[in-house]
Structures are given as structure tokens and as C-alpha cells.
Amino acid sequence: MPRLFGTDGVRGVINQDMTPDLALRLGKAIGTKFGRGSKVLVGRDVRSGGDMLVKAVEAGLLSVGVKVFEGGMAPTPALQYATKTLGYDGAVIVTASHNPPEYNGIKVVANDGIEVDREIEEDIESYFFENRFNTTSWSESYGEVRKEDRVVETYVNGILSHVDTAKVRSKGYRVLIDPANSVGAITSPLVARALASKVYTINGHLDPLFPARVPEPTFESLTETSNVVKALRPDLAVTHDGDADRAIFLDENGVIHWGDRSGTLLSYWAHEKNPNLPKRIFTAVSSSSLVEEYLGRYGIGVEWLKVGSVGIARELQRKGGVAGFEENGGFMYPPHQFVRDGAMSMALMLELMAFENESLSSLFSRLPKYYLVKTKVPLKGDVNKAYESVRNAFSSSARKIITIDGIKVISDDFWFLVRKSGTEPIVRVFVEAKDESLAKELANELIKLVGESQ
Ligand code: MG
């Protein structure tokens, strides 16, 4: 059976792979899975083709007897939160998250707001490829698409219910938001307005062409944002990806802090706020070992998982914990919802600053210092041979070796991850060490080892 769903929904270039024909049939397949009479919310990000794909999905859903409610443009976490709290059986979200502007996509969400499991995707794929769709007679097909206009309000109020708004407001913070010209612009300024004394946005008008920066927050794409922060010196700056489930923070000096660093601070705060939740967090092997080093000081355990947010969300939900996160800026706060949420992350970070009475740069300076080297090696042959030779070379010097997704080696002074890319024929090598020359030395050694042993 061919695959349709990737790691986070169906994605493709608009009007090439991601066509209204595909969206229509996918809508029929998804609607067949949800079942006749089920209530499904449909929403989208700002992307080009969004309205076309929404209409096609809705037509597919209606044709198989589903009750369709249109939530309009909103961040993915807002639509997920609305699905859960407004009593929907599920949702279809038209978004390509952080992908380049020419992409769009479709993701399916269960009634708890979390992306559906792989098994459900497989059922949808089989209906799609085998043309097995529910049918409805003419007399059943009078349903209309209804408007759901409570998504933004429900979501913003939900976030604010989890933080001490009076305490944060009393600090008079100035906050800058960069939502990448996408749907974060609809909600994050509203959340910030309730918590801060001044709210600034850049790249804050909705624009499907993404004229200012690509939708993925990276050190390169945030260079201009960093310059604005250096000039304006807000107390906190937050940037989102195209569907605002990620938050990458900049401190008042314009320094960009990667998501495993902010995730670590937010996990600490999530534990302080919720001492009764199990003292553990869930993150992917691609996160820095500083996570374990810092949170260990507070007795918070770290469970290392495969890369991919859905697996993290499901484990967090199943086993319980104070948080789950990815190094790319996706942070999950269980009292709110078990999915990544950019605006919730912003609200929690402001609350942490307020209660600890510290600037953002000062909070980040609590974390252990590591030098990062990110590189890649062409994938030539059997990646498992490369993993094996890395294991042999480091088995004596490692404190911990994790092999659930590539090979991660943790030592007292360094850690590294060697992992085959899921999307390109390359092997990624991430190295962090407390000493810059050690990081470079290790990276060179690994490039040689991985290159020669495949
Ligand atoms: Mg995203």
C-alpha cells in the first residue's frame, strides 16, 4: 500500500502534489473513517491554496455524511484546543507548518486534539487508495457547512486560564511577536495584550507569500528579527512557525535561544507550577543533553524518544509528566493540551520571568553552556554499519548510549547524535561539547567514522 501521510500529515507543493482533487478524495476517506453523523472541525493556516483545499476537503466530508464546521484561519494548536473543548469528533487542518511557502498540507486530529495515530492514518490511506467511501443518498445530502466562530476566543481564554495574569501584568513587560506573516498573528498578540504593558509585532500582517522570512524559525531566518530586538529591547521576543505551534525565543539582547533550551526552562516552570504531576519530561534524542543535566538538579527525569511530536504527545499522555518538547521550539504543557503550542509557551515564559523576577537573558544563563556543531555526511550504504562503528568507538567513554533513533552518545563533557535523515539521503551529525575545540574534534572524528563505515 502506498503511503500518503508523512511524519506530520500529508504535505506537498500546491497545485502539483497538493491539489483539490487529492483534498476531495482525502476528505471522503477521512470522513469515512470518522463516520456518518460525526462532527468535524475544518480550519487552516494562511498559506496559498488554503481556501481551495478547505472547500475540497469539506465537499469530501459532506459527501460521506459528516457534519462539517468551518473554524477559519487559526493556529494549529488553537484548532486542536477547540476540537477538544468544543466537543468535536475530530478536525482536519489545512497547513504545512514550517515548510517553505510553496507547500501546503492536510493533517487529521482526533477528538482529544492530538494528531491521529499511525493506525488511523493507515485506515484512511486504505479507503483512499481502494476508493472505499461511505455513500449518502440525495435525501441525506442536505447538510451545509456551518461556521464555528468560537475558536480564537476559546483558545486565548484557555491559555490565560493557566497563568497568573495579574502577576505577569504587574511587571509591565514589553513583548515583541514575530508570527512569520501567518496565523500566529491572529492569537499571540491577544494573549500578550492580556499579560504585557506593550505588545509589538513584526511580520504581523497575514500574507501567504511570506514576504519577510520563511515560515521556519532558524538562526538564519531570524537574523532581521534579532536586529529589531536589539534596537527595541523588549523584555521578551517570541517567533513562531507557519502554524504557530512552535515558539523560538529571543532575549532582550536579541540572542536567539534554541528550543531545547527554552523547553528546559519551561519544563522547570511546569514542574514548579504542578508539583503533583509525575516528575518527568519527554523529549526527542535530537535535544541537547543539557536538558537532563539541568532538570536532574530538580529531580525531574528525562525520557528520550524518537524524533516526531506525535510520539512525544502520546507518551506524555499515556505515562504522565510535566512537559514534552522538541528542540525545534515545539513545547507541550499537559494542563492545557498534549500538543505543541506556541502561544501557551510564550505565556508560561512570561510567567516564569515574573515569578522569578529575572530577565530572560538571566534565566537562560542558568543553563549549562555547550558549543554546538551541526553537520551532515552523505548516505552511501548501510547506515546501521555506521551506527555500529560509532558504538564500538565510544562504548568505553560514554555515560549513556541511546539507540532508539540513530545513535546518541552522552558523556560528561559532550554528547552527540548520528541519525539518518527522514527526508534526504544524508546522515545528520549533531555534536555539543562544553569545550569548543572538543566539539569540532568530535565532529571531524564522526564525519570520518560515518563516511568510512557505511
Ligand atoms: Mg508547526
Q: Which tens digits make up the pLDDT trace of 61-100?
A: 999 999 999 999 999 999 999 999 999 999 999 999 999 9
E strands, 179-243, are 198-201, 236-239
Q: Return residue ranges of the chain for CATH 3.30.310.50.
A: 371-453
Tell me the per-residue pLDDT of 308-348, one tens digit each, with 9 for 90 and over.
Answer: 999 999 999 999 999 999 999 999 999 999 999 999 999 99
> Could you tell me the distance, in angstroms and rounded to a whole number, from the CA of residue 391 to the centre of ligand 1?
33
Q: How far is the CA of 263 from the centre of ligand 1 (A)?
A: 16
What is the pLDDT at residue 249? 98
Q: Among this protein's residues, is 97 annotated catalytic?
A: yes
Looking at domain 371-453, does it have CATH number 3.30.310.50?
A: yes
Residues recorded for the chain = 454
Q: What CATH number does the domain located at 10-149 have?
A: 3.40.120.10
Please name the residues in contact with 70: beta carbons below 8 A apart, sequence gap of 6 or more. 41, 42, 43, 54, 58, 145, 146, 147, 148
Residue 373, Cβ density class (10 Å: 0-12 exposed, 13-18 middle, ≥19 buried) = buried
Band of the pLDDT at 219, cuts 50, 70, 90?
Answer: very high
**pLDDT per position as a tens digit, 174-216:** 999 999 999 999 999 999 999 999 999 999 999 999 999 999 9
Q: Is the pLDDT of residue 221 over 80?
A: yes
Class (C level, CATH) for 259-344: alpha beta
pLDDT > 90 fraction of the chain, expressed in percent and rounded = 94
User: Which cell numbers hold the place of 215?
Assistant: 515560515
Other CB atoms within 10 A of residue 164 CB: 14
For ligand 1, the distance from its centroid to the CA atom of residue 357, given in whole angstroms, is 31
- List phi, psi (to 5°) of 104: -145, 175
C-alpha cell at 84: 477538544
Ligand 1 centre to CA of 327 (Å) is 13
439 CA distance to ligand 1 middle (Å) = 30
Ligand 1 centroid distance, CA of 245 (Å): 5
- Under a CB-based contact definition with an 8 Å cutoff, are residues 154 and 85 in contact? yes
User: How far is ligand 1, taken at its centre, from the CA of residue 447, in Å?
Assistant: 30
DSSP 8-state class, residue 17: T
**Cα distance between residue 345 and residue 245, in whole Å:** 9
- Contact, 336 vs 323, CB < 8 A? no
Cα 54 to averaged position of ligand 1 atoms, centre (Å): 18
pLDDT at residue number 6: 84
Strand order in 174-178's β-sheet? 198-201, 174-178, 236-239, 248-250, 256-257
**Looking at this protein, which amino acid is placed at residue 336?**
H
Q: Where are the beta strands (DSSP E) in 143-277?
A: 146-147, 174-178, 198-201, 236-239, 248-250, 256-257
* Residue 59 grid cell: 465537499
* CATH superfamily of the 155-254 domain: Alpha-D-Glucose-1,6-Bisphosphate, subunit A, domain 3 (3.40.120.10)
Alpha-carbon Rg for the chain, nearest whole angstrom, is 22
Q: Which of 38, 63, 97, 453 is catalytic?
A: 97
Query: Which of 161, 118, 28 is CA-nearest to residue 20?
Result: 28
Q: How far apart are CA 395 and CA 392, in angstroms?
A: 5
pLDDT at 257: 97
Residue labelled with grid coordinates 518538547: 325
Q: How far is ligand 1, taken at its centre, from the CA of residue 101, in Å?
A: 13
Q: Is 423's pLDDT higher than 80?
A: no
C-alpha cell at 341: 503550542
Residue 4 has pLDDT above 80, yes or no: yes
Cell of 269: 516552570
Cα-to-centroid distance, 247 and ligand 1 (Å): 9
User: Of 14, 20, 22, whose CA–CA distance to 5 is shortest?
Assistant: 22
With a pLDDT cut of 70, the percent of the chain lying above it is 100
How many helices, marked H, and strands, marked E, lie in the chain? 15, 21
Domain with CATH 3.40.120.10 in the chain: 10-149, 155-254, 259-344
Cα(117) to ligand 1 centroid in Å equals: 18
Ligand 1 centroid to residue 297 C-alpha, Å: 31
- In this prediction, residue 142 carries a pLDDT of 78
Is the pLDDT at 265 greater than 80, yes or no? yes
